[in-house]
DNA sequence: CTCCTTCGTCGAACCGGTTCGAGGGCGAGC
DNA sequence: GCTCGCCCTCGAACCGGTTCGACGAAGGAG
């Protein structure tokens, strides 16, 4: 039942049981065995709440992500999985908190009620009140993504600017001159989501550098939106021969839109973007893309957070990742007849 | 800081502050306002661990799912999202526990250390030690899926037998005579996962009823495995004209395998199965399938669990769902020339 | 033989809430 | 005017651990 019960049955005091379990003071071998036997018999495990209250640590990490109203993307899901696994390796549990908006109830619960020792934030915005709030309180947190001013903060991020630019250069090298950009949904762009902004930035600058003609689009996070977006692209400029996308969930729809328009990938039209490998391999032809290393990022985020928890005064650290483009089957040279 | 600090500044006792917050005893309007002002000034929120210790409830639900080593399927991910959202509506947090195996460390933590008030289990096996254990302890839990003996238990499940059978009948009605079944990976089947078993059962019985020639396959949870499996199917019996699958993650590979073999869907080959709508819509042509209502199931699981927590002696309840087949574009009449 | 350590154990206080029983103040009823 | 009862409020105990200071016994040094 509780530690007092164990103590009574072992004929020792509560504190001795506690020391036997924690090893923070020496306990005679004989006493330790006596206690251990009682514990094994009763299947005793110390109560987590009591322990958390006494030593001020909950052994739980918070994972803060936007509410699922708009479905999760595969990338977000991969993050969740890898964070949970990595946390388990450090003996931390993970508490999920669907808190997109600033200072909402769920977020407050996590922090102010001290349910978690630290937090990992997903879907960061360039100006993010949640992050500002955490930084101001010096609360141990690590972001997956980074805000506009991120030098003195803890995060693991993708270099979306460089990745989008790499996609543009890849297409330009293949001879494409008129390309489109399919971004995340418009409300996310307006809200300032960093991947949407930096990706768009990288795309636009690289395209200007290479003198390409571009159009940029926002697209809902689902297949039907992807198809509609593809139709719009071909309607707006039928001479478009390639696109770059950050929108994983729209990918299936984009492919369908191309098929419906009679464009063969990659002969008539090239598609590339920033997408986790397992999703890039789902479509046919498989997508040439900068593979988002979601698992690695989740693991790194946990490692950083654990380090920050163990060394409260450590200097901020971060990892900026820029995976190379994996050449698969969705891009090819611009068709001479099609190029404008 | 803590309730004592609030009490001191408001000039009352700690118990009065507690009652003012909980409303379990009446507090004069004046005192209440005084306390509230101090709380607002200091931004006080009661410590969750202390509260949990005192009243024996953590306001947290555990979500037990298999470790991500084998990646999550879209369905699992939809469950996680909907469970978290539904739980938030009832003021519960959700603690994730990656515990596929019986009685492993993470599972023990949740239960024995009383980190959660109740648990939701995913990926149930026909004989499931975890479930037996929970039932034996009368621990408040709800399964997404059901064991072999499930009458006196709490669960939300899909009628996989009926769904697989419905798929078979749909194909038989279209004139298909030689069909295949693509199941979840073999190790899951061997481990006794209920969806794999019941789905296979329903498929086999319905096919026998209709006098169809069948082959059944296990297939890894990813696109490359799906493609390999498709190749095997066409190699083993080139006259196969349709298949039924429970394996969402393999779907993209199955389509690719068909394309590689020059089989057009649905003209030359029909594909159907049990898949969440948003994934069925991702492939081209869109999949005719029994749409797994993942969101509804997650919500129902939380509702059942909350009810069980509120009424510890309530009789077991469950929901068996059998969504109809949504006709999309991946099935068609057996081609006269192709049918054996 | 005495003094001083060291080792093992214990009791008590504490973490920050909740809850119970008791008691003070005040108005109503007789 | 006294008593009864109600409304508020308070102090103390409790939830189940951890941790600190103290203390008795055993052992080594002088």
pLDDT of residue B78: 84
**Burial class, A150, CB count within 10 angstroms (exposed 0-12 / middle 13-18 / buried 19+):** buried
Task: For nucleotide C7, give the residue with the nearest CA to its C1'.
Answer: A26
Given B250, B277, B292, the domain boundary residue is: B292
DSSP B60: E
> For residue A81, which residues of chain B lie inside 8 Å, CB to CB?
68, 71-72
Note whether B144 and B228 are same-domain residues. no
Task: Tell me how close the Cα of B187 comes to any Cα of chain A, in angstroms.
Answer: 20
Task: Give the E-state strand segments of chain B in sequence order.
Answer: 60-65, 93-98, 118-121, 141-144, 155-158, 178-183, 213-218, 242-245, 270-275, 288-291, 318-321, 325-326
Q: Please give the pLDDT value at position A156.
A: 96
pLDDT at residue A321, rounded to an integer: 97
Whether A84 sits inside 8 A of B68 (CB atoms) is yes
Shared domain for B199 and B129, answered yes or no, is: no
CA→C1' distance for A212 and D7 (Å) = 79
Q: Is the separation of the CB atoms in A266 and A329 below 8 Å?
A: yes
pLDDT the model gives residue B1: 87
The alpha-carbon gap from B61 to the nearest alpha carbon of chain A, in Å, equals 10
Q: A253: which chain B residues are within 8 Å (Cβ-Cβ)?
A: 282
Strand segments (E) across B123-199: 141-144, 155-158, 178-183
Helix (H, G, I), strand (E, B) or coil at B313: coil
As a whole-number percent, the residues of chain B with pLDDT over 70 amount to 95
One domain, residues A272 and A220: yes
A315 forms bridges with which residues in the sheet? none
Same domain, yes or no: B69 and B149: yes
The b/e string for B259-292 (b: 16+ C-beta within 10 A; e otherwise) is eeeebebbebbbbbbbbbbbbbbbbbbbbbbbbb
Tens digit of pLDDT at every position of chain A (340 positions): 899 999 999 999 999 999 999 999 999 999 999 999 999 999 999 999 999 999 999 999 999 987 655 567 778 888 888 999 999 999 999 999 887 655 567 787 889 999 999 999 998 999 988 899 899 989 999 999 999 988 889 999 999 999 999 999 999 999 999 999 999 999 999 999 999 999 999 999 999 999 999 999 999 999 999 999 999 999 999 999 999 999 999 999 999 999 999 999 999 999 999 999 989 999 999 999 999 999 999 999 999 999 999 999 999 999 999 999 999 999 999 976 544 4
> Which residues, 6+ apart, have CB-to-CB distance to B169 below 8 Å?
B206, B210
Same domain, B298 and B179: no
Q: Is the CB of A50 under 7 A from strand D?
A: yes
Whether B303 is in a domain gets the answer yes
- Nearest-by-CA chain B residue for A57: B49
Choosing among A84, A123, A263, which should be mutated to test the B contact, i.e. which has the most B CBs within 10 A? A84
B27 assigned to some structural domain? yes
Which chain A residues have a beta carbon less than 8 Å from that of B90?
Answer: none
Span of A261-275, B144-158, B297-311 with lowest mean pLDDT: B144-158
B218 and B288, same domain (yes or no): yes
Phi/psi for A272 (5° steps) reads: -150, 180
- Assigned domain for B274 exists: yes
pLDDT tens for B117-132 read 999 999 899 998 889 9
Distance B54 CA to D12 C1' (A): 15
Asked if the structure places residue B199 within a domain, the reply is: yes
Question: Is A113 in contact with B45 (Cβ distance < 8 A)?
Answer: yes
Here the tokens at position A233 are 């692209």
| Cα torsion B134, B137, B140, B146: sign | positive
The values of phi and psi at residue A324, to 5°, are -75, 165
Residue A31 maps to which CATH number? 1.10.260.40
B1 to chain A: nearest residue by CA? A112
The 10s digit of each residue's pLDDT in B39-98 is 999 999 999 999 999 999 999 999 998 765 556 777 788 888 899 999 999 999 999 988
Tokens 């072992």 correspond to A10
Verify that A8 and A78 share a domain, yes or no: no
Q: Residue A291: list chain B partners with CB under 8 A.
A: none
**Which residue in chain B has the smallest CA separation from A257?**
B284
The answer as to whether A232 is a domain residue is: yes
CATH number at residue A98: 3.40.50.2300
Which pLDDT score, from 0 to 100, does residue A4 have?
96
A68 vs B47: CB contact, 8 Å cut-off?
Answer: no
Residues of chain A contacting residue B69, judged by C-beta atoms under 8 Å apart = 85
CA-based radius of gyration for chain B:
26
Enumerate the nucleotides of strand D whose atoms come under 7 Å of any protein CB.
7-21
**Within a domain: residue B334?**
no
Separation CA B340–CA B338 (nearest Å):
6
Separation of alpha carbons B15 and B215, rounded Å: 70
Q: Which of residues 8-47 of A touch strand D (CB under 7 A)?
A: 14-15, 18-19, 21-22, 24, 44, 46-47
A207, A179 Cβ separation under 8 angstroms:
yes
Measured CA to C1', the nucleotide nearest B18 is C18
The answer to whether the Cβ–Cβ distance between A278 and B223 falls below 8 Å is: yes
Average pLDDT value for residue range B134-163: 93
- Which residues neighbour B325 within 8 Å (Cβ) at sequence distance 6 or greater? B166, B167, B170, B272, B288, B289, B290
Residues of A in contact with B45 (CB under 8 A): 108-109, 112-113
Report the gap between the CA of B207 and the closest CA in chain A (Å).
Answer: 29
Q: Is the peptide bond before B180 cis (omega within 30 degrees of 0)?
A: no
Closest-CA distance of chain B to residue A210, Å = 33
- Tokens, residue A220: 């809902």
- Looking up tokens 């009574």 gives A8
Q: Is the C-beta atom of B28 closer than 7 angstroms to strand D?
A: yes
**What distance in Å separates the CA atoms of residue A293 and residue A280, rounded to the nearest whole number?**
12
Contact between A105 and A125 under an 8 Å Cβ cutoff? The reply is: no
Q: In what order do the strands lie in the sheet with B141-144?
A: A318-321, A155-158, A141-144, A118-121, A60-65, A93-98, B93-98, B60-65, B118-121, B141-144, B155-158, B318-321
Give chain B's domain count: 3
- Asked if B320 and B163 touch (Cβ cutoff 8 Å), the reply is no
Same domain, A185 and A273: yes
Q: Helices B48-55 and A48-55 sit at what angle, rounded to 10 degrees? A: 140
- Say whether B325 sits in a helix, a strand or coil: strand
Chosen from B115, B285, B292 to mutate, greatest number of chain A CBs within 10 A:
B115
Quick check: is A54 in a domain? no
Residue A68, domain extent: 60-158+294-321
A254 and A302, same domain (yes or no): no
The alpha-carbon gap from B296 to the nearest alpha carbon of chain A, in Å, equals: 13
Strand partners, A270: A242
Q: 10 Å Cβ neighbour count for A113? A: 18
Q: Are residues A153 and A165 part of one domain? A: no
B164 and B277 fall within a common domain? yes
Of residues B152 and A33, the one with the higher pLDDT is A33
Q: Which of B112, B114, B259 sits opposite A49 (nearest CB)?
A: B114
Across the interface, do A252 and B282 touch by the CB < 8 Å criterion? yes
What is the DSSP code (8-state) at residue B217?
Answer: E
Q: Which of B74, B82, B112 sits opposite A45 (nearest CB)?
A: B112
pLDDT in tens, B96-119: 988 765 556 778 788 999 999 999
The neighbour count for residue B185, using CB atoms within 10 Å, is 20
Are residues B248 and B181 located together in one domain of the fold? yes
H, E, C per residue of chain A: CCHHHHHHHHCCCHHHHHHHHHCCCCCCHHHHHHHHHHHHHHCCCCCHHHHHHHHCCCCEEEEEECCCCCCCCHHHHHHHHHHHHHHHHCCCEEEEEECCCCCCHHHHHHHHCCCCCEEEECCCECCCHHHHHHHHHCCCEEEECCCCCCCCCCEEEECHHHHHHHHHHHHHHCCCCEEEEEECCHHHHHHCEHHHHHHHHHHHHHHHHCCCEEEEEECCCCHHHHHHHHHHHHHHCCCCCEEEECCHHHHHHHHHHHHHCCCCCCCCCEEEEEECHHHHCCCCCCCEEEECCHHHHHHHHHHHHHHHHHCCCCCCCEEEECCCEECCCCCCCCCCCCCC
d(CA A109, CA B96): 17
Best mutation target, B75, B113, B222, to test chain A (most A CBs within 10 A)? B113
Rounded Cα–Cα distance for residues B69 and B76 (Å): 14
- Positions of strand C less than 7 angstroms from a protein CB: 7-21
B133, part of any domain: yes
Count CB-CB contacts under 10 A for residue B137. Answer: 11
B167, B272 in Cβ contact below 8 A?
yes
A278-313 exposure pattern, b = at least 16 Cβ within 10 A, e = fewer: bbbbbbbbbbbbbbbbbbebbbbbbbbbbebbeeee
**Chain B closest CA to A101's CA: distance in Å?**
14
Q: Using CB atoms, which residue from A72, A84, A281 is nearest to B81? A: A72
**Closest residue by C-alpha to C1' distance, nucleotide C16:** B50
Would you state the torsion angle of the CA atoms of residues A26, A27, A33, A36, taken in this order, to the nearest 10 degrees?
-80
- Which nt has its C1' nearest the CA of B13? D10
Q: Tell me which chain A residues have a C-beta less than 8 angstroms from the C-beta of B106.
A: 88, 93
């Amino acid at each position: 039942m509780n530690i007092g019960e164990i103590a009574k049955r072992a004929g020792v005091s509560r504190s001795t049981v506690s020391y036997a379990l924690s090893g923070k003071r020496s306990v005679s071998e004989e006493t330790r065995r006596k206690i251990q036997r009682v514990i094994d018999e009763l299947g005793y495990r110390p109560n987590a709440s009591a322990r958390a209250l006494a030593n001020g640590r909950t052994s739980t990490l918070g994972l803060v992500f936007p509410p699922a109203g708009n479905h999760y993307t595969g990338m977000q899901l991969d993050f969740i999985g890898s964070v949970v696994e990595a946390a388990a390796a450090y003996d931390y549990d993970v508490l999920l908190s669907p808190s997109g908006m600033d200072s909402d109830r769920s977020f407050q619960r996590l922090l102010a009620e001290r349910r978690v020792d630290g937090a990992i934030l997903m879907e960061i915005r360039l100006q993010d009140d949640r992050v500002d709030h955490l930084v101001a309180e010096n609360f141990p947190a690590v972001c997956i993504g980074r805000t506009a001013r991120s030098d003195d903060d803890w995060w693991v991020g993708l270099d979306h600017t460089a990745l989008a630019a790499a996609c543009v250069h890849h297409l330009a090298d293949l001879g494409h001159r008129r390309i489109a950009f399919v971004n995340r949904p418009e409300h996310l762009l307006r809200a300032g989501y960093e991947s949407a902004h930096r990706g768009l930035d990288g795309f636009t600058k690289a395209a200007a550098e290479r003198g390409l003609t571009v159009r940029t689009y926002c697209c809902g996070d689902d297949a039907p939106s992807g198809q509609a977006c593809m139709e719009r692209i071909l309607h707006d400029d039928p001479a478009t021969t390639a696109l770059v996308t950050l929108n994983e969930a729209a990918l299936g729809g984009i492919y369908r839109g191309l098929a419906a328009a009679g464009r063969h990938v990659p002969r008539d039209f090239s598609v590339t973007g920033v997408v986790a490998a397992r999703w890039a391999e789902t479509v046919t032809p498989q997508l040439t893309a900068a593979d988002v290393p979601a698992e690695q990022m989740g693991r790194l985020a946990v490692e950083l957070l654990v380090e920050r928890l163990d060394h409260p005064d450590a200097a901020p650290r971060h990892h900026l990742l820029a995976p190379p483009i994996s050449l698969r089957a969705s891009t090819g040279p611009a068709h001479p007849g099609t190029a404008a």
